Amino acid sequence: MIWGADVPADVVIERKVDQAIADGHRLPRWGWSIPRPYNGSTGPERIAGWQKTIVAQSLGLLPPLTVCTACEVRKAEQRHNEIYARSLAAMPVCRSCHARIHRRYGSPDTWHAFLLESIPATSWLRGLAMQPISRTDAFRLAEQPDLLKAVAAYSAALRADQLP
């Protein structure tokens, strides 16, 4: 990934985390079953992203969780990764919104109702794709400086292709 002088903040943080790990910072232990693949990333890659996030938090490299960036109402307790190739570009979300994000592919009608009823028109959630992103596309999107903007453009292009 080549960005020149405009390296995205999450990439700068990831480089610091990678260095801390190389210098001996312990990785947190994943204590659950291996998650299913998501948007081109394998379960082990998702675990590695979670581990980097925990390390970044412990080093004070990520802002504290405050309000959910999805509903803008509840307290954020988790971070959602849409593209794990940029695991530190995760968005703070509450548990409820996080669960809905991950269920959207299987329940599109419920997802759309949730967006209309509960989510501000300017929310990044409205730019998420309604079908899983392939591994190739996920890595291509990860190369873009503004990951959420790239995901939204990708999603819009998919929607345009699906029109009659």
The CA-based angle 9-136-52, given to 5 degrees, is 40
Q: Is the CB of residue 76 less than 8 Å from the CB of residue 66?
A: yes
- 86/43 Cα distance (integer angstroms): 15
pLDDT at 12: 96
- 19/1 Cα distance (integer angstroms): 18
Other CB atoms within 10 Å distance of the CB of residue 45: 18
pLDDT at 160: 82
Classify residue 137 by its DSSP letter: H
Residue 164 confidence (pLDDT) above 70 = no
What pTM was estimated for this model as a whole?
Answer: 0.91
Task: Tell me the pLDDT band of 13, cut-offs 50, 70 and 90.
Answer: very high
- Structure confidence by residue, pLDDT tens digits, 17-73: 999 999 999 999 999 999 999 999 999 999 999 999 999 999 999 999 999 999 999
Continuous H helices in 23-164: 43-58, 95-103, 108-118, 135-142, 147-161
- 113/59 Cα distance (integer angstroms): 39
Least confident stretch, 12-26, 77-91, 148-162: 148-162
- 104/84 Cα distance (integer angstroms): 18
Q: Quote the radius of gyration of the chain (alpha carbons, Å).
A: 16
Structure tokens at 16: 């610091």
Residue 161 confidence (pLDDT) above 50 = yes
Other CB atoms within 10 Å distance of the CB of residue 79: 22
Q: Is the CB of residue 112 less than 8 Å from the CB of residue 106?
A: no
- Structure confidence by residue, pLDDT tens digits, 86-101: 999 999 999 999 999 9
Exposure on the CB side of residue 47, measured as CA atoms within 13 A: 13
- Structure confidence by residue, pLDDT tens digits, 82-135: 999 999 999 999 999 999 999 999 999 999 999 999 999 999 999 999 999 999
